[in-house]
Amino acid sequence: MMGIQEGEDEAEDEEEDIDIDIDINPLTMLLPDVQQQQQQVVVEEVEDDIKLPALDHQQLLQHHYLHSLHSTVAIRQLRSQGLSFQLWPAATTLFTLLDRHRSHSLTSPLTPTLSSLPARPRILELGSGTGLVGISAAATLGAYVTLTDLPHVLPNLQFNADANSQVLAEHGGSVHVAALGWGELDHMEAIGRDYDLILGSDVVYHDHLYDPLLETLRFFSVGGEKSVVFLMAHLRRWKKESAFFKRAKKVFDVEVIHADGPSDGLRVGVVVYRFAAKPSIRI
């Protein structure tokens, strides 16, 4: 298809050929200066109103500008609370692609996937963290998005969902927050399988989470009446992540649909993958 897109074998070769130093530290990639180089972000301090530890000096509300909508998405990060409360680089890439897709769909790498969705798609986001990706998908696509994460992350996710109620109302999207621990059957069953697309950004990092994440993907993408595509933005940090992709390719055809150039000081950039269930796996 497009120059950047690759077949499964090429994507697999890429996984195995990249020689990445084992000591790339994800925390060094969380610093806002890197993200602010990539998009217009306005930062302000906000009051803590959700009973989190008082006086969090790292607490920031960032306004991410969606050029296609002439609107901003406001996201609160609570950096001192841990990785689930921070914005990761891959989220910024998906945010930018969704924005560009809205205004330049003819050249968008998301078009082959998004053009087949219904007018008001139902989207499930895994490991939403701060919720930037899911909220932006709701606004730019007019989608019904379920933002999910571990239970302790949900108050901040709900805060961010509420902070954007106006922009969502203006553009016809909506978001809903739900607990989803990967591989937890009760959570998965409570959420149901009625989705048209699954999104995730920077959800492959700890190796003990590879199998629960794959189990979750299998549940939602091939466990229902139709197979559902998973779009995943990922910044590769460790060679061991090849294991995730090898296991995923037993169930999914994995295609690279977009690759950012490396950010300053890094040897790799964020890559966006499209996971579609193999025909032999589809129900």
Contact residues toward ligand SAM (CB under 6 A) are: 83-84, 87-88, 90-91, 127-130, 149-150, 153, 180-182, 201-203, 205, 209, 212
Question: CA 99, CA 72: separation in Å to the nearest integer?
Answer: 11
Rounded least distance, CB 164 to ligand SAM, Å: 15
Rounded least distance, CB 37 to ligand SAM, Å: 17
For residue 76, give the nearest of 34, 45, 53 by alpha carbon: 45
Rounded least distance, CB 281 to ligand SAM, Å: 23
Question: For ligand SAM, which is the closer residue by CB, 36 or 278?
Answer: 36
Question: For ligand SAM, which is the closer residue by CB, 96 or 128?
Answer: 128
Question: For ligand SAM, which is the closer residue by CB, 71 or 84?
Answer: 84
Share of the chain residues as helix, strand and coil, in percent rounded to the nearest 5: 40, 20, 40
Rounded least distance, CB 151 to ligand SAM, Å: 9
Task: Give the position of tokens 């992540």.
Answer: 241
Question: For ligand SAM, which is the closer residue by CB, 128 or 160?
Answer: 128
Rounded least distance, CB 203 to ligand SAM, Å: 5
Question: For ligand SAM, which is the closer residue by CB, 149 or 260?
Answer: 149
What letters, b where the CB count within 10 A reaches 16 and e where it falls short, cover 36-73? eeebebeeeeeeeeeeeeeebeebbbbebbbebbebbb
Question: CA 8, CA 75: separation in Å to the nearest integer?
Answer: 35
Classify residue 170 by burial, with Cβ atoms within 10 Å: 0-12, 13-18, 19+.
exposed
82: left (phi over 0), alpha (psi -120 to 50) or beta: left
Rounded least distance, CB 156 to ligand SAM, Å: 10
Question: For ligand SAM, which is the closer residue by CB, 61 or 83?
Answer: 83
